[in-house]
Structure 1
Amino acid sequence: MSQTPQTAPSGSERDHASGSSRPPAIVILDFGSQYSELIARRVRETEVFSLVMGYATTAAELKALAPKGIILSGGPSSVYEEGAPLCDPGLWDLGIPVLGVCYGMQLMVQQLGGSVVAAGRAEYGKAPLHVDDPVDLLTNVASGSTMWMSHGDSVEALPDGFVRLAHTDNTPEAAVANHARRLYGVQFHPEVVHSSGGMVMIRNFVYHICGCTPDWTTAAFIDEAIGEVRAQVGEKRVLLALSGGVDSSTLAFLLHQAIGDRLTCMFIDQGFMRKGEPEFLMEFFDQQFHINVEYINARERFISKLAGITDPEEKRKIIGTEFIRVFEEESRRLGPFDYLAQGTLYPDVIESAGTNVDPKTGERVAVKIKSHHNVGGLPKDLQFKLVEPLRRLFKDEVRKVGRSLGLPQEIVGRHPFPGPGLAIRILGEVTDDKLDILRDADLIVREEVRDAGLYDEIWQAFAVLLPVRSVGVMGDKRTYAYPIVLRCVSSEDGMTADWSRLPYDLLELISNRIVNEVRGVNRVVLDITSKPPGTIEWE
């Protein structure tokens, strides 16, 4: 999993950057797939610790790490192309079980003497898997199970010692194995939710083939994270960027348990929060849990910085930089502080860093989807050392950690909220008037979704304000006002998402309330776009 905003180191350097003292039981070699981190997440769901490393990791480095298994990710390249990313061929002789996924399977076949060619017909989406050999990797995988395909190349000939495990109507060699050498390959993606037997295969590989022990638990993470924070920070003081969301709230509890009163939380009210949240945040942490929180009112400062700014990437950069500048100024008043803690998670780093891999170096190339305020927006002259114990977790893992630390459901169950806040849910220039409109509309959306009993079933439910106006009629008078976009999505980890099918009567209720109660709005529309091709946030 990526560790820096621009490129991620390969090999043991990347492992060291993880900040984890625990050796990985499963290593995922990353060939640039959008699903590499998802593979690691699936392995961790089996309570087995995994790390993602660059594909250029050498066999000697892998031998030193001594994982119990290796997974080769998919990737956008073709193994027969010049400059295609290749793994160290020495890994085949380590005696460690290997599972190749999509490109990883093709690479295994190619390097071991088989052949891979462009498929006569590409295969994308769902396909039924016909199981030919229901043992080892495919134990308890029902023939006809749905698998998620995404490939334009196929195996033409298997290497010596390999046999077919399964096929699809379009792919003769959909799963293969060399049982004697414990080498396995699948042409599909068992890690995605669309593959109905995917987790069964991952468990088969992790437990039965690799012999891993399920000891990577929430309690284990908390114990190790606390130890790592104490080792990193020593007797120094830490300043936490507290937003009140799940991530920073969980981090506040974790750090308070690790270093006690040497933690100071600073809540910067940049003016882009949801309605009533600054007041709620201060009462919750300061009064209920007695965690020191410094409130900084910087609304005018942030709004003025965004005057005339319409580009979303520029908004994020400005907000991220300004956050750090305010922290630096206020820390000098309260400090000194050597460390800045952030609730950075995997999806933040992934989207900020991109997933393409340089075939010459094995490093990720910064082809960004968008910068996140706590990753891509950090200034180069940052005056703090960063403490980011959650950056290797997905959102659902953070929620589990939060519950174990004693956070109440009203915090742990909150929907994700972007660091730049409402500033990136207002398309175009951000103004005080637009912020007031969006706050009122957004509150109605959340109230009605919660009252309908759907809040915990939805990943995110929020409103977006568009910088256009349309004609309407209210009270027999012509109106010319803004539209509000209703965005409700379902997801497991934020990496992919589908739009939530809300009941029609709920949609009608939300629309009626917004149009009748929010000044300046005369139309409500529904966003029914999945991720991909869209993102969850509009900017």
Structure 2
Amino acid sequence: MHQKIIILDFGSQYTQLIARRVREFNVYCEIHPFNKIPQIDSTVKGVILSGSPFSVRDDNAPFVDLKDIKGKLPLLGICYGAQFLSQTNGGEVMPSATREYGRATIEVVDNECPLFANLSPRSQVWMSHGDTIVKIPDNFKVIASTADVKVGAFEVNGEQTYGIQFHPEVYHSVEGAKLIKNFVVDICGCSQDWTPASFVEESVSKLKSTLGNDKVVLGLSGGVDSSVAALLLHKAIGKNLTCIFVDNGLLRKNEFEQVLESYQSLGLNVIGVDASQRFYKELKGITDPEQKRKIIGRIFIEVFDDEAHKIKDVKWLAQGTIYPDVIESVSVNGPSATIKSHHNVGGLPEKMNLKVVEPLRLLFKDEVRRVGKELGLPGAILNRHPFPGPGLGIRILGEVTPEKVQLLQEADSIYIQGLREAGLYDKIWQAGAILLPIQSVGVMGDERTYEYVVALRAVTSTDGMTADWYHFPHEFLARISNDIINKVRGINRVVYDISSKPPATIEWE
């Protein structure tokens, strides 16, 4: 069993970032809702309290009983967590004179405090709170301040209990990662043994034990998650794993053949199914984005189910569920109100009456990639940009037709290949072309044209939760635009999307 840090989630948008920062130091951690504290056994080395959209002064503010934790284990409160520790132990929290949001400079006032060991005396941090601690309990002491916030950080005398009113987990807190390492490695004493190699070894052993000689079926998408799940299972049970890769007619140009070949070269037992005409038929006349998603998801399930029933004695369905999916389903605020359709082949377990195995359910996306590298997954799949489950079906705005799919595949292929040739592909989180449901007038030679418009999208991100548009050199955009218009008959205009997330989303539908 790995030593671990427990993160109690009060609903902060940054809670997953805290966990990812902890794991960057090869320390295992788990996120739990504040009102569902897990058993505190010998593997738990410390606890972190997250931020929250609530104020500790609200009547319905989240409350947690820390009697089995505070003073017994190292404890770190971040933002709301710090204010909660102060308020519930006799301190006072009041609304800030001005909402403290954005960059600030923290100044360490206690150089002996292990939480700030090896940090600069002054460093940039990120603030995001409407309340501030104006009075700390008698047995607390201030260890860092900013120009506007006297109690920037505190510790409790005689305890390994700390509170900070800034967010060390976000990129803008320049030495935030060092502070988190000080807490989890030096103060909590966690052994840094949560590595890709250890995960592979333990997972393979557990899968062998759980699955025995049972047969397992897995739906491959060509993406990182399902591919890594397949390799882990293959390593554990070999030919008892059958993978099904469905061509829904909405993949990128030549992707079905290329990805199928990659999987087979890895020794995976893969069945490729071309069901594109079935998808096109069902999508005819449909323009609503969510309806398109549901149709694509339903047909995928039907095709997958048909193929899986051809395999005798299958007992398990494997899925590429990752840790953010798991957290979402047990979050403080309850399951997300509208989870997009076609997520991890939703609906299959109920339909097929199979047991479910999810080998990646403890991992974040960046950890999945590291495990994939450990398993020898080819770079073409390992470093592939995220691609939506419904594929080009939601990058063709309006009705999906085979003709539009071909147009978009050609334009998208020129764009993605251009990114690779320019050395830009790996600098971008996600990129793709979108076919707009409008046509515009153009001139080619002496002819007037009335053809489609394509929008190009490229964003940088670390996790997909927030994203910024990529600032291409103008020469690159000019070249790609010319290539698409000259080579793809049916498109006469190219635009570039310069919207960030939020307020826009990465995909258009």
**1:212: how far off?**
0.8
**1:65: how far off?**
5.8
Aligned partner of 1:294 in structure 2 is: 271
How high is the sequence identity, in percent, across the aligned residues?
52
> Which secondary structure does the structure 2 equivalent of 1:338 belong to?
strand
| 1:195-226 CA-partner distances (Å, limit 9, x unpaired) | 11110000000111111110111111111211
- Supply the distance in 2 between the matched residues of 1:382 and 1:32 (Cα, whole angstroms): 35
Which of the residues 354, 360, 364 maps onto 1:390?
360
Which of the residues 474, 477, 491 maps onto 2:447?
477
**1:461: how far off?**
2.1
Structure 1's 188 and 333: CA in aligned 2 closer, same or farther, altered over 3 A?
same
Q: Is the 8 A contact 1:394 1:493 kept in 2?
A: no
Q: Comparing 75-84 with 222-231, which one deviates more in the overlay?
A: 222-231
Q: Is the 8 A contact 2:232 2:359 kept in 1?
A: no
Which of the residues 488, 504, 508 maps onto 1:534?
504
Q: Comparing 171-180 with 417-426, which one deviates more in the overlay?
A: 171-180
Which of the residues 178, 187, 192 maps onto 2:165?
187
Asked if residue 26 in structure 1 is aligned to residue 17 in structure 2, the reply is no
Asked if residue 51 in structure 1 is aligned to residue 30 in structure 2, the reply is yes
**1:378: how far off?**
5.8
**1:370: how far off?**
3.7
| Mapping of residues 62-211 of structure 1, within 5 Å | 62-64=39-41, 66-93=43-70, 95-134=72-111, 135-211=113-189
**1:514: how far off?**
1.1
**1:372: how far off?**
5.1
- Supply the distance in 1 between the matched residues of 2:168 and 2:347 (Cα, whole angstroms): 34
Q: Is the 8 A contact 1:349 1:375 kept in 2?
A: no
Q: Is the 8 A contact 2:2 2:194 kept in 1?
A: no
Structure 1's 179 and 527: CA in aligned 2 closer, same or farther, altered over 3 A?
farther
Structure 1's 49 and 322: CA in aligned 2 closer, same or farther, altered over 3 A?
same
Structure 1's 375 and 24: CA in aligned 2 closer, same or farther, altered over 3 A?
farther
> Which secondary structure does the structure 2 equivalent of 1:247 belong to?
helix
> Which secondary structure does the structure 2 equivalent of 1:141 belong to?
coil
Q: Is the 8 A contact 2:435 2:455 kept in 1?
A: yes
- Supply the distance in 1 between the matched residues of 2:349 and 2:195 (Cα, whole angstroms): 35
Aligned partner of 2:198 in structure 1 is: 220
Q: Is the 8 A contact 2:455 2:496 kept in 1?
A: yes
If the length of structure 2 is used for normalisation, what is the TM-score?
A: 0.94
Q: Is the 8 A contact 1:89 1:111 kept in 2?
A: no
| Mapping of residues 405-416 of structure 1, within 5 Å | 405-416=375-386
> Which secondary structure does the structure 1 equivalent of 2:420 belong to?
helix
**1:279: how far off?**
0.8
Q: Comparing 85-94 with 112-121, which one deviates more in the overlay?
A: 85-94
| 1:14-52 CA-partner distances (Å, limit 9, x unpaired) | xxxxxxxx4551001111112212211111110011111
- Supply the distance in 2 between the matched residues of 1:311 and 1:446 (Cα, whole angstroms): 27
**1:231: how far off?**
3.0
For CA contacts below 8 A with separation 6 or more, give which structure has more relative contact order.
1
Structure 2 residue identity aligned to 1:489: V
| Mapping of residues 334-345 of structure 1, within 5 Å | 334-345=311-322
Q: Aligned residues, how many?
A: 508
**1:455: how far off?**
1.6
- Supply the distance in 1 between the matched residues of 2:373 and 2:482 (Cα, whole angstroms): 36
* Unmatched segments (≥5 aa) in structure 1: 1-21, 359-363
**1:348: how far off?**
4.8
Which of the residues 255, 258, 268 maps onto 2:233?
255
If the length of structure 1 is used for normalisation, what is the TM-score?
A: 0.89
| Mapping of residues 322-401 of structure 1, within 5 Å | 322-348=299-325, 353=329, 357-358=332-333, 364-368=334-338, 370-371=340-341, 373-374=343-344, 381=351, 383-401=353-371
> Which secondary structure does the structure 2 equivalent of 1:149 belong to?
strand
Structure 1's 204 and 511: CA in aligned 2 closer, same or farther, altered over 3 A?
same
Aligned partner of 1:282 in structure 2 is: 260
Structure 1's 173 and 252: CA in aligned 2 closer, same or farther, altered over 3 A?
same
Structure 2 residue identity aligned to 1:277: E
Structure 2 residue identity aligned to 1:168: T
Which of the residues 4, 18, 21 maps onto 1:42?
21
- Supply the distance in 2 between the matched residues of 1:334 and 1:369 (Cα, whole angstroms): 31
Which of the residues 433, 438, 442 maps onto 2:403?
433
Structure 1's 170 and 301: CA in aligned 2 closer, same or farther, altered over 3 A?
farther
**1:384: how far off?**
2.6
Structure 2 residue identity aligned to 1:333: K
Structure 2 residue identity aligned to 1:509: R
**1:353: how far off?**
4.8
- Supply the distance in 1 between the matched residues of 2:58 and 2:295 (Cα, whole angstroms): 41
Q: Is the 8 A contact 2:7 2:29 kept in 1?
A: yes
Which of the residues 481, 487, 492 maps onto 1:511?
481
